[in-house]
A = this chain, B = another copy of it.
Amino acid sequence: MFQEVSQTNVPPHIPAFLNKKRNVTTGNQLTCRLDTQKTQRLLYVVGTSLKAKVNRSAPPTSKFFSVKGTANVQYSISPTPRDTSHLSPIPLTENSVLLISRDHASQHENDSKLSVQYYGANKEVLGRAVVHLTAVELSLDVDADRDGIVEKNNPNKGSWKWGPDGHGAILLVNCDSEKTYKKTPDSEEKNIYKVSDLKDMSVMVLRTKGPGKLPEGYKLTMHISQGDAESLRVFRNRSTEVPNSGLSQKLYNLFVKDYPLVLSSDVLSKEVPYLGGVAEMNFYVEGLRFPDKDFNGLVTINLSLLEPISDGLPETPIFTDKVVFKVAPWIMTPNTLRPVEVFVCSTSDNYQFLKGMRNLVAKSGYKLNICHEYVNRGDRWMQDEVEFGYIDSPHHRFPVVLDSPRDGDLANFPYDELLGPDFGYVTRVALDEHVSSLDSFGNLEVSPPVTVNGKKYPLGRIIIGVAFPTATKGRNMTKVVQDFLWAQKVQEPIALFSDWLLVGHVDEFMTFVPAPDRKGFRLLLASPDAGYKLFRGLQNSGHGQATLFDGLTNAEQITLDEILEDEKLQAENNYVQSCIDWNRDVLKRELGLDDEDIIDLPILFKLVEDENEYRAVAYYPDMVNMIVLGKNLGIPKPFGPKVNGRCALEAAMCSLMEGLGLKCTFIDDYSSYHQLLGEVHCGSNVRREPFEFKWWNLEM
């Protein structure tokens, strides 16, 4: 009654259900049908197992069954038959299950065979289901152990875990530009433009082993979700399609245009070739966007083996391998990291300042980059338009500039002058939001590494300034930038109160300098109380007639006595001190600092009116607004009262810094910066070496 399959020449089989070597988990089991009506030809993936319910397709009245297979196929029967000699038929139950597997890839199609014979009550043969197997080995591989090399079939490649004992591959946003003119970040280019662009991508290898070709109709497909397609693209290297090809570097370069796009938001699923034999095919995975409020940085790439059914029916994925990447965050660099290059603007009126900076940078041994007036168009606030950071992975890293939505006349500088090969660019555009002075990146800083109540921040913490959360009005940093900063995760931000300042930047009252002891740094805070204390001391020792702003033609000189008599100024500075103290408390708590980690600098402020509100500006050049170049500090020259021919403010500053082994250079920024409400730090920027610490080793 049932169509019997032709008897195949089955060699004596090994009782594989006694074989303990294999450790097949449920996750790799694939239900398969037994068919007594026609021979089944199945493609099998090594590492999985096929599981058949023996009873489900059994001929009616079947009571027993037996199994035979070629030597290259393993099988086990459950429940385990009592008679393990497997020579006599096994009783068939509702729960009889056959597990089939193979250890090695096939060299030829259908090179293993297995049959299940069904028997009636009297052991008469009722039918026979025959399965022919072709085995392939498949593995989509990435650098999941983060050593820069794509290892084979890492068991953890499908998930991501932080920490030194973590795992999971890493993707860079391809935000640099291989082009040096008519530039655009490479991730916005349609194609791979230069072979050098490949190093910005993560290599992914498809390793296959099996017969020369897949059985008719089977195919390999690589696929991603629609959501992930916004964050990544996959390119393929045609030159690696020849198995074991040994192309020379020169030949390789000839293939530069031969990197077809495989997956993108336009193509979520695409067939990839099966090369046959033992083969490796290289893919290049490109990150398109940084972690943000709606994106945790994790993306998945899948490779599926599809089984054909027939026309008009979707092919069934019978095996899927997946790999996970995390997009590397943008990382800021604190003052304690080694400088690489210093950026300043040249304007028609800042010769004196430039001269000071040039000397300081030359003395310190770093590179000075001057942004000329045809680029800066008179906008001298180099600190405010950009923030330098970097992205890092086990295979590559490069600097990335974050462009502020401030967009003054320096707006085009980061894109036009910085973006380039191995220099990335990222920005956030404020669409419906008002951009205020608090969006300038003098209001975006980062602390050195700290440990807070046992929690480590080996990359420090980002610091921004905002209005008090209690304020019913007030300026703020745009939400798009704040969301971006918080989403990077690895330098958890701290929000300070900076709206009390007219300009409103945290760099107007704080900075960090390196120190040989304690936590490796000191927090410097502007302190009106320290200023008054110094001035009262001077007055007390008979210097009440010493004047500030000595030698400046564009400033009115004032004596210490006059300053100390000014009750309004005292009241204003009491207020400023309370604002700074509020921030001091937050910084102590959020950075785990003691009072001994903080140095108060003698700086006075004054309040100015702006639309019926009073906000603070520095009374004399704001020494805390300095540039930190290793052990050399470039400090706004304060023009303080002279005692025995030496500026008492400079002397106090030097004395405070000398204990830390730091050298103070005072730079005259009075008319070109201070009078425009900024100082040395506002007018400069520093690109620094990345951290040695790798962000993926953070314990989150």
Contact = CB atoms under 8 A, between A and B. Distances in A.
A56 to B, nearest CB: 5
Contacts of A540: 1, 59-61
A536 B223 contact: no
Interface string A301-330: 010101101101111110010000000000
A32 interface: yes
Contacts of A533: 56-58, 60
Contacts of A97: 595
A455 to B, nearest CB: 13
B316 A95 contact: no
A584 B227 CA distance: 26
Interface string A570-598: 11001101110110110011000001100
Given A37-B570, A294-B293, A467 B314 contact: yes
Contacts of A223: 469-470
A256 B536 CA distance: 62
A253 interface: no
A595 B95 contact: yes
A122 to B, nearest CB: 16
A577 B33 contact: yes
Given A95-B596, A533-B56, A575-B309, A269 B316 contact: no
A31 interface: yes
Interface in A200-246: 221, 223, 225-227
Contact of A609 (B1, B312, B471, B585): B312
B294 A469 contact: no
A9 interface: no
A679 interface: no
B56 A530 contact: yes
Contact of A60 (B33, B536, B577): B536
Contacts of A575: 309-310, 313
Contacts of A31: 581-582, 584-585
A527 interface: yes
Contacts of A467: 314
B304 A269 contact: no
Q: Is the interface of A mostly helix, strand, loop or mixed?
A: mixed
B33 A574 contact: yes
A156 interface: no
Nearest to A300: B469
Interface stretch (A22-30, A137-145, A436-444): A22-30
A613 interface: yes
Contact of A537 (B29, B60, B470): B60
Contacts of A585: 29-31
A26 B536 contact: no
A317 B470 contact: yes
Interface in A239-284: 268-270
A540 B468 CA distance: 84
A428 to B, nearest CB: 16
Interface of A: 1, 26-27, 29-33, 35, 37, 53, 56-61, 95, 97, 221, 223, 225-227, 268-270, 293-294, 302, 304, 306-307, 309-310, 312-317, 320, 467-472, 474, 479, 499-500, 527, 529-530, 532-533, 536-537, 539-541, 570-571, 574-575, 577-579, 581-582, 584-585, 588-589, 595-596, 600, 607, 609, 612-614
10 contacts: A26-B588, A56-B527, A58-B533, A223-B470, A302-B470, A306-B470, A314-B474, A315-B470, A316-B468, A317-B470
